[in-house]
Amino acid sequence: MSAGPYNYSYIFKYIIIGDMGVGKSCLLHQFTEKKFMADCPHTIGVEFGTRIIEVSGQKIKLQIWDTAGQERFRAVTRSYYRGAAGALMVYDITRRSTYNHLSSWLTDTRNLTNPSTVIFLIGNKCDLDAQRDVTYEEASKFAEENGLMFVEASAKTGDNVEEAFLETAKKIYQSIQDGRLDLNAAESGVQHKPSQPGRNNLSNDQQGNKDNCAC
Amino acid sequence: MESSDSDNFESADEDFEFEKFEKGSNTTKHHHPVPKSDTAKAAILIPKAPPSTDVNQNKKETSESETLTPEIVNSDKSKSEGSLIKDDEGNKQYQTKAVPQLEVAAKDTVKHDVEIEACDNSRGSNVTGDAQDPDDDSENLWNEGEGWGVDDESDNTAIPNVQGKEKMEASPKTAPIEEDAWSNEGWEIWESDSKEIMIPNPAKTDNQSNLDPKWKGWSNWGVSSILSTATQSVSTLTSSVSQGLSTVASTIESSIGAPEPAELALSNRAEKKSLPAEITSSDHNNKNSMGFGLSNIGSLVSGVSKLVESTSTKVISGGLDTLETIGKKTMEVIQEGDPGLKKKRAFLNLEGEKPVLSQVLREAKEKAEQENKARQEKHFAKKVNYESIFDDHQGLVHLEALEMLSKQCDMKLQLLFESSSGDALMEIQETLAQVKELCELPNEEDEEQLSLEELKERLASAVKELDVNITYDRLISMWEETECWLNNVNLSICDENELHQQAVETLAQLTAIAVEQFHKAGELLLIKDHHSTADEADSLVQLTTTLTSLIGIAASKFSDKMNCKAVGDSNKESVNSLITNIFYEAANSSSYIQDAFQLLVPVIEMGAV
């Protein structure tokens, strides 16, 4: 086991939301494993994924909460929005109903996260253009009206998946640089690890040992 | 109960009023008791809100009041209950919160009111004393009032008269309010107050209507000086109240209006002039024996005093309205951007109580990671870190999610507490107590050696009983592999550090899976339609004890191997410290599992209520 995975300076919490079957878990899987999961089981409550990315030379660990889309889990998943730095709101471009429900998902997101949370709208399954039910223009207009970032992606082909996750991270990182996002706020969804190798090593070492011995 | 005397007296009075009301009940209904219910509300709520009032306690008290009411007020049941329930649902929340801060202001207002009267007339000081003295019982108040009546006969000015009557009739109302606000003695006081506040109303309403025709006649009296003095006194009253809270002035002015007090004074005086002698007796009647033979005079007196009383009630309730407004405003500010105060409540109730486990773990993990970095730089072998492995297996984030779920349930239960009362509340409390009892973990069990088969069986039966779709297959297969590894490990190749690392990894992984499945169980329990709380609790207790004993078994198996390593090893001390560390991490693992179980308790409770 190498120290590599722990070598990051920020943790961002993401939450993926949207109707059942729009491909939330598949997007996550594509992003973390770079693979398409053909028959993905229904998510129960919430599942997690992590990946470390790099933004402006900073290593950032994305802690992604992939929520269940089923209506019966709605109350449960509402508990999980809190403290998300990024929210990926997903609909299926081949099913209009999933697009129509976006306003309800958006309301939940706005109510349950903080104002600095970056909301990214993803129109999934763009590989199925022949069955398209929602035009790009329409969704783009909706995103613009609501101040959302927007992209059409495909969890199957991997188109724009990486971009959606990375753009969100960039926007969050920008907010941190601008000072719009307060790192010290409990619900910012960002954890900063001000680890500076070579400093305080000794004291840390001693403390660590002490902790291990004291029961 | 502060005085049994006053109690007896009041119940006698109550009987009378009740009877009277029965007689007159079909005569009139048009004089509605709104100001009264306001006063009642105030008397109930103001004293019940000491600065650090616990919401639950408040709740309990309110429910108590509701159970009391029907016994006290029979004929007036619907009215009084209605007002109580209304303020229970609608206003209770902000009143209980707002009043503590405003209590001082409330006192000031009422005090001013009283003090002005004290300046205006000689007898006033006595009355004021009554009103302010919390230990004074109602009988004294009445006597004082009676005295007033007598004095009035020789007194030619209308103002003291008005105020005297006002005080006499109003004191049973004003006094309790102040009493309670100041002495904060609790429900015993209120209990007696409630009788006075709610019962006399219908009877007096009755008299009021009888009186109405006579008013026109008296208005021809035209004693302008009296009229202006009366107006003046009312305005003094008004301004004195407004001194504390400027809004009150407008409230009173709009609710009373200038002519009414004037008319009031006029009529009162007229009554005194024409019936000087009877007043004392009728007053006396009012107090003791009014049940029989109510003369027209008697009804005049009480009718007029009713008016005065309602005026003073309006002043008081006007003040209370203002307090209400301020309270509402305060609440609005507090609630801004936080509907239902969910966040703040959570912050105050929950976050203060328990440290957030996932946070503690995360910090520990980060510290260890930093430490590792340092070690690496010094070319030390990387030390395995429990928290990092636990996090790698999503244990940390599942724990965090479970915490959020648990907190959400806690808040919902809290809201349920606040929105229910009486029997329903009792029932909820009982249920929750039962759930807590069911969820008590047995004390440290003896280290039992579970075989793989026993482990499978126990987990399977527990999961079956829980009746949600979770599985410990992953945990079982992992443990299977570990046992296999332990049985086949070649101790001559594997050094103690590798053994130690394997042990810590195993413990962290087992715990991560256990926590994950607890989290899943929590989610599934919340969406389950039918709950068998006893089974759920029993199953989760069973799971918890099984999993913690598995942790114990894992730790002892690894330390056995370590001990083999220690025999004949020159490095005995370091091996022993590694063994100690394994048991330390095992103890941690068990407590994480138990904590995760505790986080599920509110979830089970949600299912039960």
| Residue at B514: amino acid letter | A
A52, A204, A207: best to mutate for the B interface, most B CBs within 10 A:
A204
A48: which chain B residues are within 8 Å (Cβ-Cβ)?
394, 397-398
State the DSSP string of B49-63. Answer: --TT--HHHHHHHHH
Report which residue type is found at B437.
Answer: E
pLDDT tens by residue, A183-204: 776 667 777 764 433 323 333 3
Indicate yes or no: CB of A208 within 8 angstroms of CB of B371.
yes
Q: Which of residues 76-135 of B touch A (CB under 8 A)?
A: none
Q: Alpha-carbon distance B248 to B250, whole Å?
A: 5
Closest CA to A90 of A25, A136, A170, A163: A25
Return the residue of A nearest to B365 by Cα. Answer: A6
For chain B, report the end-to-end CA distance as a whole number of angstroms.
36
Q: How far apart are the first and last CA of chain A?
A: 26
Residue A80, pLDDT > 90, answer yes
The label of the residue with tokens 């400093």 reads A199
Instruction: Say if pTM beats, i.e. exceeds, 0.95.
Output: no
Q: What is the DSSP string of B22-45?
A: HHHTTT---S--HHHHHHHHHHHH
Q: Which residues of A touch B356 (CB under 8 A)?
A: none
- B151, B20 contact by CB (below 8 A): no
Chain A nearest C-alpha distance from B161 (Å): 60
- In this structure, are strands A46-55 and A58-67 parallel, antiparallel, or unpaired? antiparallel
Given a cut of 60, whether residue A122 has pLDDT beyond it is: yes
Residue range A135-170, pLDDT digits in tens: 999 999 999 999 999 999 999 999 999 999 999 999
Least confident of B296-300, B495-499, B587-591: B296-300
B562, HSE (Cβ side, Cα atoms, 13 Å): 28
* Residue from A44, A62, A70, A203 to probe the interface with B (highest B Cβ count within 10 Å): A44
Contacts of A74 in chain B (CB under 8 A): none
Residues of B in contact with A112 (CB under 8 A): none
Spatial contact of A107 and A139, defined as CB atoms under 8 Å apart: no
Mean of pLDDT values over B571-591: 89
The set of residues, in sequence order, having a beta carbon less than 8 Å from that of A5 and lying 6+ positions away, is A52, B392
- Residues of chain A contacting residue B367, judged by C-beta atoms under 8 Å apart: 204, 207-208, 211
| pLDDT of B429 strictly over 70 | yes
The answer to whether the CB atoms of B375 and A79 lie below 8 A apart is: no
Token pair in block for residue B422: 């009486």
Burial class (CB in 10 A: 0-12, 13-18, 19+), B233: buried
**Treating both helix axes as pointing N-terminal to C-terminal, what angle do B259-274 and B158-183 enclose, rounded to 10 degrees?**
110
Q: What is the pLDDT of residues B132-149, one digit of tens each?
A: 444 444 444 444 434 343
Where in chain A are the domains? 10-214
Residue in A1, A208, A215 nearest the CB of B367: A208
User: Quick check: B378 pLDDT over 90?
Assistant: no
Cα gap B409→B402, rounded to integer Å = 11
B573 versus B106: the higher-pLDDT residue is B573
A48 with B394: Cβ contact below 8 A: yes
Q: By CB neighbour count within 10 A (0-12 exposed, 13-18 middle, 19+ buried), where does B469 fall?
A: exposed
CA distance B44 to B420: 18
Torsion angle of alpha carbons B232, B235, B239, B241, nearest 10°?
120
Mean pLDDT on B460-465: 90
Q: Which residues of B touch A191 (CB under 8 A)?
A: 362
Angle ∠(B128,B250,B32) on CA atoms, nearest 5: 75
User: Among candidates B448, B454, B447, B455, which has minimal Cα distance to B478?
Assistant: B455
Is B111 a residue whose pLDDT tops 50? no
Q: Does A177 touch chain B (CB under 8 A)?
A: no
Residue corresponding to tokens 């697009």: A99
Q: Do B520 and A44 touch (CB under 8 A)?
A: yes
Which residues 62-91 on chain A approach chain B with CB closer than 8 angstroms?
63, 65, 72-73, 75-76, 78-80, 82
Q: What's the CATH code, domain A10-214?
A: 3.40.50.300
Measured distance CA(B160)–CA(B335) in Å, rounded: 46
| DSSP secondary structure string for all residues of B436-491 | HHHTPPPS--------HHHHHHHHHHHHHHHTSS---HHHHHHHHHHHHHHHH--T
pLDDT category at B363 given cuts 50, 70, 90 is confident
Which chain B residue's Cα is nearest to A206? Answer: B371
- Give me the interface pTM, i.e. the ipTM: 0.85
Instruction: Work out the number of other CB atoms within 10 angstroms of the CB of residue B497.
Output: 14
Number of Cα atoms under 13 Å in the Cβ half of residue B488 = 6
Q: Give phi and psi for A87, each to the nearest 5.
A: -125, 120
For residue B345, what pLDDT band results from cuts at 50, 70 and 90? Answer: low
CB B264 within 8 A of CB B304: yes
Query: Following DSSP, what letter does each residue of A108-171 receive, concatenated?
Result: HHHHHS-TT-EEEEEEE-TT-GGG--S-HHHHHHHHHHTT-EEEE--TTT-TTHHHHHHHHHHH
Residue A41 CB neighbour total at 10 angstroms: 8
Instruction: Kindly state whether A191 is in contact with chain B, defined as any CB-CB distance less than 8 angstroms.
Output: yes
Is residue B1 within 8 Å of B192, Cβ to Cβ?
A: yes
Angle between helices B55-72 and B395-419 (to 10 degrees): 20
* Structure tokens given for B572: 């005995």
Q: What distances in angstroms separate CA B271 from CA B137, B151, B167, B266, one per listed residue?
A: 29, 14, 17, 9
